[in-house]
A and B are shown apart, each in its own frame.
Chain A
Amino acid sequence: MTDNEKPISKGGTMILPSSLLFLCLSLIPLGMLIFFSFIDGNINMSGEIRGFTIENLTRMFSSFTFTKLMFKSVGIGILVTVICIVISYPTAWGIAKVVKSKYKNLLMMLIIVPFFTSQLLLIYAIMVIFQAKGVIMTLLGSLNLADSSTSILYSNLAVIIVLVYEYLPYMILSLYTSIEGIDDNLISASQSLGAGRWNTFKNIVFPMSIPGLLSGILLVLVPVTGSFVEPTLVGGPNGMMVGSLINSQFTVVLNMGYGAALSFVFLIILSIIMAVIKKSINSANKSIGGME
Chain B
Amino acid sequence: MKKFISLLIVVLMVTTMFVGCSPEEQQSEPPSEEETPEVEEEEVKTLTVLNWKGYGSDADYSVDVFEEMYNCKVEHVYFTSLEEMLTMLRTGGLGTIDVLLPNSNVLLQAWQEGLIQPIDTSKMENYSLLRDDLRNFEDAIDEEGNVYGVPWAWGTTSLGYNPEVIEEDITSWKALWDDKYEGKVAYFDDYNTAILTAALYLEEDDPYNPDLEKVEEALLDLKENTRTYWSSYDDFLKPYGSGEIVIGNMWVGLASTIYRSGDPVEYVYPEEGTVGWSDFWAIATDAPNPDLALKWLDFMSSEQFQTDFANDPYGAIPSNVNSLESLTDDLKKAFFIYPEPPTNLVMQASQDEETKQAWLDVWNNVKAQ
Contact = CB atoms under 8 A, between A and B. Distances in A.
Contacts of B361: 63, 65
A65 B353 CA distance: 20
A45 B91 contact: yes
B73 interface: no
Given A151-B244, A154-B227, A253 B239 contact: no
Contacts of B356: 252-253
Question: Which interface class (under 10, 10 to 19, 20 to 34, 35 or more) fits A?
Answer: 20 to 34
Interface in A144-180: 149-151, 153-154
Interface in B224-264: 226-229, 231, 234-235, 238-239, 242-244
A233 B235 CA distance: 7
Contacts of A95: none
A127 interface: yes
B357 interface: yes
A41 interface: yes
B228 A248 contact: no
Contact of A132 (B189, B231, B239, B365): B239
Given A65-B364, A65-B365, A253-B357, A150 B235 contact: no
Question: Which interface class (under 10, 10 to 19, 20 to 34, 35 or more) fits B?
Answer: 20 to 34
A65 B243 CA distance: 32
Nearest to A242: B368
A232 B231 contact: yes
Given A232-B231, A237-B227, A132 B244 contact: yes
A91 B165 CA distance: 46
A237 B231 contact: no
A236 B228 contact: yes
B191 A252 contact: yes
Nearest to A240: B367
A65 B238 CA distance: 30
A63 B227 contact: no
B90 interface: yes
A8 B360 CA distance: 58
Contacts of A127: 238
A149 B87 CA distance: 46
B135 interface: no
A150 B187 CA distance: 18
Interface in B322-366: 353, 356-357, 360-361, 364-365
Q: Which of A232, A236, A244, A253 counts the most chain B CB atoms within 10 A?
A: A253
B368 A245 contact: yes
A133 interface: yes
Contacts of A65: 361, 364-365, 368
A154 B367 CA distance: 13
Interface in A110-133: 124, 127, 131-133
A237 B239 contact: no
A64 to B, nearest CB: 8
Contacts of B91: 45
Nearest to A231: B367
B238 A150 contact: no
A248 B365 CA distance: 12
A238 to B, nearest CB: 8
Contact of A240 (B83, B238, B244, B368): B368
Interface string B32-63: 00000000000000000000000000000000
Nearest to B220: A237
Nearest to A133: B242
A72 B124 CA distance: 58
Contacts of B353: 41, 253, 255
A260 to B, nearest CB: 15
A131 B238 contact: yes
A254 B235 CA distance: 24
A186 to B, nearest CB: 50
A56 to B, nearest CB: 12
A44 to B, nearest CB: 10
A236 B227 contact: yes
A149 to B, nearest CB: 4
A244 B191 CA distance: 13
A252 B242 CA distance: 31
A149 B243 contact: yes
B243 A133 contact: yes
Nearest to A63: B365
Given A149-B244, A153-B244, A232-B189, A253 B238 contact: no
Contacts of B244: 131-132, 149-151, 153-154
Interface string B308-322: 000000000000000
A69 B239 contact: no
9 contacts: A65-B364, A65-B365, A132-B244, A153-B228, A154-B227, A237-B229, A240-B367, A245-B364, A249-B360
Interface of A: 41, 45, 63, 65, 68-69, 124, 127, 131-134, 149-151, 153-154, 232-233, 236-238, 240, 244-245, 248-249, 252-255
5 residue pairs, one from A and one from B, having the closest CB atoms = A132-B242, A240-B367, A237-B226, A133-B242, A149-B243
Interface of B: 83, 87, 90-91, 187, 189, 191, 223, 226-229, 231, 234-235, 238-239, 242-244, 353, 356-357, 360-361, 364-365, 367-368
Given A249-B360, A252-B360, 16 more contacts: A45-B90, A65-B361, A132-B239, A132-B244, A133-B242, A149-B244, A151-B242, A153-B244, A154-B228, A154-B244, A236-B227, A236-B229, A240-B368, A245-B368, A248-B191, A253-B360
